Amino acid sequence: MNIKWQYDQENIDWNELSELYKIAPLGEKDAKDLEMVFGNSKFKCFAFHENKIVAVGRALADGADCSYLCDVAVHPGFQGLGLGKAVIQKLVDFSEGHKKILLYANPGKEPFYKKLGFSQMNTAMAIFINHDFAVKKGLISNS
Rounded Cα distance between 82 and 76, Å, is 12
> What tens digit of pLDDT does each residue of 15-45 get?
999 999 999 988 899 999 999 999 999 999 9
Rounded Cα distance between 126 and 97, Å, is 25
Confidence of residue 134 (pLDDT cuts 50, 70, 90): confident
Compute φ and ψ for 52, nearest 5 degrees.
-115, 140
This prediction's pTM: 0.91
Rounded Cα distance between 140 and 142, Å, is 7
User: Rounded mean pLDDT of 97-115?
Assistant: 91
Which uninterrupted H or E stretch holds 86? Answer: helix 83-94
